[in-house]
Amino acid sequence: MIRWGAGMGDLGAAAVAQCAVPHRLASVDVAIIATYLGAMIVVGVIVARRLRGFRDFFIAGGRMTTPLLVCTLVSTYYGLDVTFGTSETAFFEGVAAFVAYSAPFYLFYVLTAVLVAPRLKRLDALSLPEAIGNAYGAQARIAAALASFVYSAPILGVAGMGLIGTVFFDLEPWQGCAIGGAVATVYTMLGGLLADALTDTVQFVVMCVTAAVAAVVMLCTVGGPEAIGARLGPEVLAPLGTLSSWEVLVFAVVAMTPLVEPAFYQRTFAAVNARQVVKALLIGAVLWASYDWLVVYLGVAGRDLVAAGRLPAGLDGSEVLLHVAAIALPPGLLGLFVAGCLAAAMSTVDSYTLIAAGNVVYDGWQTATGRRLSDRSLLLATRVLVLVTMAAAIALALLFERLRDAWIFMSTVLLSTVLWPMLAVLFAPRLATRRAGRWSTTAGLTVSVALFVMFEVAGTPTVDGSMALLLPGVGVELQRESALLFTLPLAALGFAAGAAADRQRGTAP
């Protein structure tokens, strides 16, 4: 899953150009990173020789068990946007980054595990749009495929790889994006979800272990959170920091994304059975919380290092984790840490590229044309679309100055389009009438996209770098971050109106 932190606002080309090189990599570090990248491609080649068709390629033949699901879920959900974004939020807000920003997600992970996964596994589908289409028809499936494609285009992960290339290898942003994107594209095109999941297992271990080692070094060097709080002031340890209740509410609403997360849905369909997914999500929630807490702690430790003069005073918050790691880790482990950062980015990029490609071919093209492709054509077309999607993501990653804006747009479109229809399919199938789904997906998709176009065309900049829009006739000023609070009720209204219309016409089930 993708989450945003304030750091994603600074991952654009302009901010990347300001990055200082925190540490020169030793030869052993470069060798570790090169070995890691080479190993990813080898996995893709090995898996490609064993694939038997589209089902193997797109949902790993439905053979995924709990350990593999844990690895792929944790590493896919934890991209660079979250890693850098959470540490930056902690750098500025202290432990509130964990309490207000990360914690709501755990509630929805658990709800997803207990309530959604078992129901989802009973559906006869390979993707989120297909589940929507089976209940509401072709129009709803195409709208869901478009929303899922917008959400899954791996713009943020690709931009994160550009940042790593700039900070550690002195590359231009486009070069880092292109190298990381090319490796992820090759093994995803070759081996599909299975190659993606197998590489995720290595990426999962690397990112977890390096974060743990960096935390141990910092605990021994600067002490625990209480010791840092005693030096920096109690506000560092305040549960909600300086966040307003409005911001906390927006975080809580955005935390609902696991309920309709395309990558989670794909892995549920790929699991051997529902029990394996439930166990994986519950174990994953514990590991997510541990990883989140350590990243928050490292962000707070970075603030302490700045106060102590060991890091520059004007440090960009999005770079804090890289600087702390450069101080904490010796040669060898630093290379592993950079590989871990690449792993966090690539595990997200490969998964979402595959989903986005599948959305276009499996859900979009087949539904729109009414032509059922042969298994061989489906496989070939999805592989080609993986390449096209990655190329588009690299171009968009370099285009956006503020990638946080891109993330807000992506998550708002997904939730507005599919949340209510999908919840109805899972929990209230009697309400899931054709018009209800059609009207809700169409209204959610149209209004959320139109709203963001209006923000760009007619919005006024706010002091915190966002955009605001005066809603005509209502007299209410809507901030871009709060657009979801407007589009979600509207999509609910569309769903209710469609259900009422079907009942009136006697076409409800």
Partner 1 sequence: MVLTALTWLAVVVLSLGSIGVFVFFLRDLPGVLPNKANHRASGDDHPEA
Positions that interact with partner 1 (CB under 8 A) = 47, 49-56, 60-61, 63-68, 70-71, 95, 124, 126, 130, 194, 201, 204-205, 208-209, 211-213, 215-216, 219, 223-227, 237, 283, 286-287, 289-291, 293-294, 297, 362, 366, 372-376, 378-379
Give the shortest CB-352-to-partner 1 separation in angstroms: 21
Report yes or no: 92 and 100 within 8 Å, Cβ to Cβ. Answer: no
Q: Least distance from C-beta 209 to partner 1, angstroms?
A: 6
| Alpha carbon distances (Å) from 441 to 20, 148, 218, 490, 494 | 45, 12, 48, 11, 8
Two structure tokens written together for 421: 């229809």
Taking the least distance from each CB to partner 1, the nearer of 208 and 425 is 208
CA distance 319 to 322: 5
Nearer to partner 1, 56 or 405 (CB): 56
Please state, in angstroms and as integers, the Cα–Cα distance from residue 394 to each residue in 42, 277, 345, following that order: 23, 32, 13
Residues with Cβ within 8 Å of residue 189, at least 6 apart in sequence: 44, 383, 386, 387
For the bound state, the minimum distance from the C-beta of residue 400 to partner 1, rounded and expressed in Å, comes to 32
Q: Considering the complex, what minimum distance in angstroms separates the CB of residue 57 from partner 1?
A: 10
* Residue 30: partners with Cβ closer than 8 Å, 6 or more residues away: 335
Nearer of residues 218 and 449 to partner 1, judged by Cβ: 218
Q: Residue 471: beta bridge partners?
A: 476
Indicate the residue among 64 and 150 with the shorter CB distance to partner 1: 64
CB of 117 within 8 A of CB of 36? no
Rounded to whole angstroms, the Cα distance separating 12 from 16 reads 6
CA neighbor of 414 nearest in space, from 140, 139, 148, 128: 148
Beta strands across the sheet bearing 467-471: 460-461, 467-471, 476-479
Cβ distance to partner 1 smaller for residue 324 or 408? 324
- Tell me how far, at minimum, the Cβ of 287 lies from partner 1, in Å: 5
Other beta carbons within 10 angstroms of residue 50's beta carbon come to 11
Our CB check for partner 1 shows the closer of 159 and 361 to be 361
Nearer to partner 1, 49 or 430 (CB): 49
Closer of 33 and 343 to partner 1 (Cβ): 343
Cβ at position 111, least distance to partner 1 in Å = 22
In whole angstroms, give the CA distance from residue 232 to residue 133.
Answer: 54
**Residue 144 beta carbon to partner 1: minimum distance, rounded to whole angstroms:** 16
DSSP secondary-structure letter at 97?
Answer: I
Whichever of 375 and 477 has its CB closer to partner 1, that residue is: 375
φ and ψ of 64, to 5 deg:
-80, 130
CA dihedral sign of residues 187, 189, 191, 192: positive
Shortest distance, position 500 Cβ to partner 1, whole Å: 31
Cβ closer to partner 1: 139 or 175?
Answer: 139
Q: How far is the CB of 407 from partner 1 (least distance, A)?
A: 25
- Least distance from C-beta 119 to partner 1, angstroms? 19
- Sign of the torsion formed by the C-alpha atoms of 333, 336, 342 and 344: negative
Is the Cβ of residue 219 or residue 392 nearer to partner 1 in the bound state?
Answer: 219
Tokens, residue 433: 């009438």
Query: Token digits for 171?
Result: 């590359």
CB of 349 to partner 1, least distance (A): 20
How big is the chain by its Cα radius of gyration, in Å?
A: 22
CA 130 – CA 140 distance, rounded (Å): 9
